């Protein structure tokens, strides 16, 4: 198919060459798209890509910033139809769904839709969904993963920030009785209260006490916040399966003192869960194509009785955060506002670590031992009236 100077074809090699076409041609193109009531497959591709990458004036909803980004990334623009031809139905349905709302993927909402159904199947398998499971899905988008979750027998609470996508997914599953859509930012949603209500209702109905699960093809920019928010809820959730940026996925699972990617979130993951990297997802499985590949991680959430024993998790994590404010500095210096340098040194020596230890050298177990010891020493100091030496903890 050839449209007004925009080079494109039905399914083989596909490339937008002419971005500098006159506005009148773009307008003509836009009009043709808007008029087309039942476009062919290739029209959908053209519509999708032009919307995502395209020209100002095509849609009033189009944002110049996202336009520029996709526009300038020829690799992304090239997102070849031949690559995605195998999953043509998926990309078609995503584009059709977006078209129904006159919408295009929003960069600032992390909207990279999954267009490979096999990946959704593998994500659901990784979550070991069985009939009757309650699943919180963060960001259902067009509902592609939701559909696979429902097919596996889950009841899905689909939490979507974008009102357009929320209404779209609500319509898609209307009457199924299997999907409840909540149009809210997941990070602001009262997760504990809401999920507790659902679980109570489910256990009344089935007489069975089951925990919920979180499954999501996550907007990459909220990964850390989601991990920090959900993992400490092992009393509500048994499992969380996330499709993340591949690098982030590897970092979260493999964090160790030698990895160079050691940071407070690594401790949150290890403290509250047992993570497992499941598989890589090539970037071409998304629409629009992101700059990086994805990776799927399964987190098995620990129960409180399985957490490493610390007197106060709140204080333990504030100590970790303080320590990593100066990742390469000695703990006796970075923790001065919490413990005196002499107490820090004494505690380090007492648990078999050098008094010059730096945070990037300690494992979670060593941090736990150190924290318990320094807290104990500080407590003793306090009992002796040595208040000046113990400031917080």
Ligand X SMILES: C[S@@+](CC[C@H](N)C(=O)[O-])C[C@H]1O[C@@H](n2cnc3c(N)ncnc32)[C@H](O)[C@@H]1O
295 is in an annotated binding site: no
Cα–Cα distance for residue pair 210/237, rounded to 1 Å: 9
Q: Work out how close the CB of 252 gets to ligand X at its nearest, in angstroms, rounded to a whole number.
A: 17
Of all residues in this chain, which one has the CB nearest to ligand X in the complex? 139
What tokens does 199 get?
């679980």
* Smaller CB separation from ligand X, 110 or 295: 110
Question: 311: alpha, beta or left, given left = phi > 0 and alpha = psi -120 to 50?
Answer: alpha
* Smaller CB separation from ligand X, 157 or 347: 157
Cα–Cα distance for residue pair 174/168, rounded to 1 Å: 10
1 is in an annotated binding site: no
Q: Does 160 bind ligand X (CB under 6 A)?
A: yes
Contact 147/123 with Cβ under 8 angstroms?
no
The footprint of ligand X on residues 298-357 (CB under 6 A) is none
Cα–Cα distance for residue pair 276/254, rounded to 1 Å: 9
CA 205 to mean position of chain CA atoms: 31
Q: Work out how close the CB of 195 gets to ligand X at its nearest, in angstroms, rounded to a whole number.
A: 15
Q: Does 165 bind ligand X (CB under 6 A)?
A: yes
* Smaller CB separation from ligand X, 55 or 214: 214
217 is in an annotated binding site: yes
The footprint of ligand X on residues 133-152 (CB under 6 A) is 138-142, 144-145
In this structure, the chain runs to a length of 393
Distances from the Cα of 161 to the Cαs of 90, 181, 216, 217, 372, in angstroms? 22, 10, 13, 14, 41
Q: Does 249 bind ligand X (CB under 6 A)?
A: no
* Smaller CB separation from ligand X, 111 or 239: 111
The footprint of ligand X on residues 222-241 (CB under 6 A) is 222
Contact 79/87 with Cβ under 8 angstroms?
no
Q: Work out how close the CB of 80 gets to ligand X at its nearest, in angstroms, rounded to a whole number.
A: 19
Q: Work out how close the CB of 137 gets to ligand X at its nearest, in angstroms, rounded to a whole number.
A: 7
Q: Does 170 bind ligand X (CB under 6 A)?
A: no
The footprint of ligand X on residues 105-124 (CB under 6 A) is 109-114
**Choices 63-71, 77-85, 180-188, 372-380; region in contact with ligand X by CB under 6 A:** 180-188
Question: 175: alpha, beta or left, given left = phi > 0 and alpha = psi -120 to 50?
Answer: left
Contact 319/365 with Cβ under 8 angstroms?
no
Contact partners, residue 190, CB within 8 Å, separation at least 6: none
Contact 236/192 with Cβ under 8 angstroms?
yes
Q: Work out how close the CB of 183 gets to ligand X at its nearest, in angstroms, rounded to a whole number.
A: 9
CB atoms within 10 A of CB 125: 15
Cα–Cα distance for residue pair 46/6, rounded to 1 Å: 9
State which of residues 26, 107, 122, 161 lies at the interface with ligand X (CB under 6 A).
161
* Smaller CB separation from ligand X, 58 or 97: 97
Q: What are phi and psi of 172, to 5 degrees?
A: -60, -35
* Smaller CB separation from ligand X, 115 or 310: 115
Annotated binding site for S-adenosyl-L-methionine: 112, 114, 139, 160, 185, 217
Instruction: State the residues that interact with ligand X by CB under 6 A.
Output: 109-114, 138-142, 144-145, 159-162, 165, 185-187, 217, 219, 222
């Amino acid at each position: 198919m050839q449209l007004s100077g925009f080079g494109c074809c039905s399914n083989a090699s596909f490339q937008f060459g002419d971005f500098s076409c006159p506005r009148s041609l773009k307008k003509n193109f836009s009009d043709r798209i808007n008029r087309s009531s039942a476009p062919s497959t290739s029209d959908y591709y053209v519509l999708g890509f032009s919307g995502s990458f395209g020209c100002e004036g095509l849609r009033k909803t189009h944002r110049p910033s996202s336009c520029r980004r996709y526009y300038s990334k020829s690799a992304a623009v090239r997102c070849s139809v031949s690559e995605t031809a195998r999953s043509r139905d998926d990309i078609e349905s995503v584009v059709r769904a977006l078209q129904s709302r006159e919408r295009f993927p929003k960069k600032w909402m992390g909207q990279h839709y999954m267009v490979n159904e096999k990946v959704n199947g593998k994500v659901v398998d990784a979550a070991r969904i069985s009939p009757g499971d309650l699943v919180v899905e963060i960001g259902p988008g067009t509902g592609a993963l939701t559909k696979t979750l429902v097919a596996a027998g889950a009841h899905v609470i689909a939490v979507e920030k974008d009102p357009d996508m929320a209404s779209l997914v609500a319509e898609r599953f209307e009457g199924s009785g299997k999907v409840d859509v909540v149009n809210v930012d997941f990070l602001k949603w009262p997760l504990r209260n809401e999920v507790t209500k659902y679980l109570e209702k489910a256990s009344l109905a089935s007489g069975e006490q089951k925990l919920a699960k979180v499954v999501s093809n996550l907007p990459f920019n909220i990964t850390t916040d989601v991990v920090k928010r959900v993992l400490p809820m092992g009393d509500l959730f048994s499992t969380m399966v996330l499709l993340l940026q591949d690098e982030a996925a590897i970092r979260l699972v493999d964090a160790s003192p030698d990895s160079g990617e050691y940071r407070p979130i690594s401790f949150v993951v290890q403290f509250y869960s047992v993570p497992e990297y499941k598989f890589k997802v090539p970037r071409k499985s998304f629409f629009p194509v992101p700059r990086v590949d994805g990776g799927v991680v399964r987190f098995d959430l620990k129960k409180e009785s399985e957490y490493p024993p610390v007197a106060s998790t709140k204080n333990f994590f504030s100590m970790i955060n303080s320590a990593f404010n100066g990742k390469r500095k000695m703990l006796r210096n970075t923790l001065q506002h919490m413990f005196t340098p002499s107490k820090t040194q004494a505690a380090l020596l007492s648990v078999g670590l050098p008094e010059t230890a730096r945070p990037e050298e300690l494992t979670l177990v060593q941090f736990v031992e150190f924290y318990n010891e320094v807290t104990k020493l500080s407590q003793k100091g306090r009992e002796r009236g040595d208040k000046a030496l113990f400031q917080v903890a």
